[in-house]
Every structure is written in structure tokens, then in C-alpha cells.
Structure 1
Amino acid sequence: MTKKGILTVALKIGFATQKGGPGKSTDARGTAVGFAQNGWAVKIADFDLNQSTSTRWLQRRLTRGHKPEVSVEQFGSMAHALARADDYDVIIFDGAPRASKDTAAMAEACDLLVIPTGLSVDDLDPAVELADALHFKHGIPIERIAFALNHVGDSMAELEEAQEYLSQKPYHVLAGYLPQKVSYSRAMDIGLSVIEVSHKGLRAQAEQLISSIIKRATALQSK
């Protein structure tokens, strides 16, 4: 991966959803830790001013002394977050719980905008609607929008149906997915990310998705 020592502009990755609950902050934290494990200086810009989920997660991480270090800071506007961006190798925007007018500004600033979604139609339809609004209304290039599949249950048929549904859309679908597992939520309860769980198989499962996000973002920035 290219480091900031060569590249003077921070890599920017955003996570946004049309509705709450599909694992936006989960993916953002995993991506931040993935970069930090490779020596990148990372900041998560937490735009959830009411619940401050990523900020609270960092407090738990610091209390327990987990490494590598990841910085989290709350921001009320994209302008303020972007003003701090180039102090880091990577800045990850953990968007507000639901899409707003600021989501388009975030997408415009990012090398990659990730839209996490569950597998149900109730999750998929709003996710696609957000992608369509960003592309057709706000002009975000198709290649900079990607879907991440989260909260995947035991039904492979449901997973395949969701993948087939998204394959009919013009946007990128990230490799891998996050299963619905208690181990992930318990890890975040103690300040870890999904790629730091003790269960080897679940860690590898999460690493596949997070690696896909990292590879997609760095490839887009290098263009």
C-alpha cells in the first residue's frame, strides 16, 4: 500500500447509510484498524453527534490499551473534518446514522464511499436508493460507490439472492461479507474491531471484507 510519505494527500473513505443498523460503524472501525495494522496513521471522523458510537468505542479501546492506535474525533461538518484530513495518511468518515444533505458532501470528498447493507429488501432498497441519489443527483462517479454486505445469516440462498440483486445495479459489490455473530459485537464492546476477534475463522471472514475495502480505496486513489 502507498504511504503518505510518498503521497501528500490523505486517502479518504466514507461510510454512509440511508437507514440505521446495517453495520456502518462496524465497517468503519474495521477499516481503520486494518490500515493502522499496516503502519498508516488513521483518523475516524465521527459524525454521529448524538450517540457518538465510534468515539465511545475508542474510549473502550484506550482503556484496555489495544494496539494499533486509531484516532477518533467528532465533527459537525465536512469542512472541519477535511481541514484535519491531511494530518493523517487515511481519514475515515463514519457518517450520521441516516443519510442527509451532508452525505453528498462526504461522497464528493471521498476516494471511496461504502454503503453497508443487510440482505433483506428492507435494507437493500434504501441502500440502492442512496447510491442512485449520490450518482444521478449529485454526480458521484459509479466506480467510487460500493456496497458492503453485513449481518449475513445462515442462509446462503438469502446471501446469493442479495448478491444477484446488487449485481443488476451498476455499483461495485465488495468481496466478502460479515456474518451475524455475537463474537463481533462482543469484540467491539471491549474496543476491538471485527478483524481483531479471537475466533480465527470469524477474523478471516472479516478480514476478507475489510481487505476488499482497503484495496478498492487505494486503487481508486492511485488513478
Structure 2
Amino acid sequence: MSLIISVVGQKGGSGKSTLSRAIATCYASASWDVKIADLDINQSTSFTWLQRRINNSIEPIIAVEAFGSATQALKKSDDYDLFIFDGAPTASRTTTEICKSSDLIVIPTGLALDDLEPSVVLANNLSKEGIDKNKICFVFNRASGSELEYNEAKNYLDETPYFVIGGRIEDKPCYRQAMNEGKSVTEARYKQPREKADVVMQNLINRIEELTN
């Protein structure tokens, strides 16, 4: 049976694909057989990212496929060690469906209340659908700002019953450049931003291991 992770959001632009790609490359680098299920069939950004990755001969290669429905995607989940749902731009019944099948639900959020509040609403809605609160976690992504702003945002989420992954991925040109080249944020050119992304990913992996063990 494969490990299934859903990266979902209440609205577009939160960085679901950024996190999906980072998780995928981390596990694939450890010799896991990984697939990203891209549920944004209108844009399929993760699928086009894979094409750039292949064209630039970047390894490891990550399998990516666009799916029109969760049911269709889940039929293929057991063919891989890790199956990652890169969620549609906005929350829907499909979001609930994939989350019910997941070992971990990742909700990316920025630091502003305009990001935090919808993220908490989504987590609450998933919980009301019967999804275990322990499986839901927040990850700070595109979270540029001062340490004070970051700490205030973290304190806000700490008041919820959901897990908050330590660290943050900021909005940096080198991250955008990495993804333009078919890389993930953990494969960025410069050491310091790469290491900051690594911290977030390691904390997320630690959370997965806590839940699955």
C-alpha cells in the first residue's frame, strides 16, 4: 500500500504545486517511486514542470499525470511508494474525497490573515467531514515577512487543533528560477534558501513518520 499525501487549499495561489514538487523530489531522491497526481486539469502546472525537468535532464525523474477525478487517480495510487495529490485551485468535493484517502493533508498558507483564515476554514471543513485532525497540517509557503510577522502567524495557527510544520518557505527569486528550470525549492541554486526549504521538508517528513509509525 502506498503513502498518500494531499496538498490542498481553499483558494488558488497558495503554493500547492510548490510543496507537491518539493515533497516528491525529497522522497524520489531517497529512491522512492513517486507520482504527483495533478488535479488542476485546466492548467496542469505540475505536468508542464515535469516536461521542463525532463528537457533539462534533471534527476530523479518524478512521474506526473493529470487526472480529471479523484476516483480515476486513486486507482493508480497503489502502483507507487508515494502518491501526492496536487489539489485543484479551490476546495471542492474532490478535495474532501482525496483527503479521506490520505495519510497526511498539507494546507499551505502565507502569513496574512487573508491566507490564514481560509486555510483554517478548510481544515475545519475537512474535520467536520470526519477526517482525523491529526492528519491535517499547515505549512508556511510564500511566507516572506519579518520574524515578528511569522511568529504572529504561527501563534494564530497554534490556537487551532491542527499541526503546524516548523519553518517557512519564503517567496524568493531563486525558488521561482528553480521551478522554471524543472527543479523544486529544495534544489534551488543558492545554499541558504535551499537549506531553509530543506528544514521545512524535513519537519514535514518527521510528521509523516510520526503518523505512519
Q: Would you say same fold, with TM above 0.5?
A: yes
Shift of 1:221: 2.4
Asked whether 1:47 is paired with 2:36, we answer: no
Match of 2:96 in 1: 104
Percentage of pairs with the same residue: 45
- Aligned counterpart in structure 2 of residue 134 of structure 1, from 115, 120, 126: 126
Question: Is 2:67 aligned against 1:75?
Answer: yes
Distance in structure 2 (CA, Å) of the matches to 1:11 and 1:216:
13
The residue aligned with 1:188 is 179
Q: Report the alpha carbon displacement of residue 175 of structure 1 after superposing the two structures with TM.
A: 1.5
Q: Indicate which of 191, 194, 201 corresponds to 2:192.
A: 201
* Paired position in structure 2 for 1:32: 24
Structure 1 segment 169-184 matched on structure 2, within 5 A = 169-184=160-175
Is the 8 Å Cα contact of residues 106 and 136 (structure 2) preserved in structure 1?
yes
Distance in 1, matches of 2:45 and 2:202, equals 23
Aligned to 1:5: none
Contact persistence 1:13–1:217 (CA under 8 A): no
- Rounded Cα–Cα distance in structure 1 between residues aligned with 2:208 and 2:71: 21
1:144-183 deviation line (CA, Å, top 9, x unaligned): 0000001122311110110000000000001111012110
**Does the CA contact (< 8 Å) of 1:35 and 1:214 recur in 2?**
no
Secondary structure at the aligned position of 2:79 is classed as: coil
Unaligned runs of 5+ in 2: none
Output aligned runs, 1:148-187, within 5 Å. 148-187=139-178
Q: How far, CA to CA, are the matches of 2:102 and 2:79 in structure 1?
A: 16
Give the alignment's TM-score, normalised by structure 1.
0.94
CA distance in 2, matches of 1:167, 1:45: 30
Query: What's the secondary structure of 1:206's corresponding residue?
Result: helix
TM-score w.r.t. the length of structure 2 is 0.98
Displacement of 1:218: 3.1
Structure 1's unaligned 5+ residue stretches are: 1-8
Residues 154 and 123 (structure 1), Cα distance of their counterparts in 2 relative to 1, 3 Å cut? closer
TM-superposed CA distance for 1:24, in Å, is 0.8
Displacement of 1:214 after TM fit?
2.0
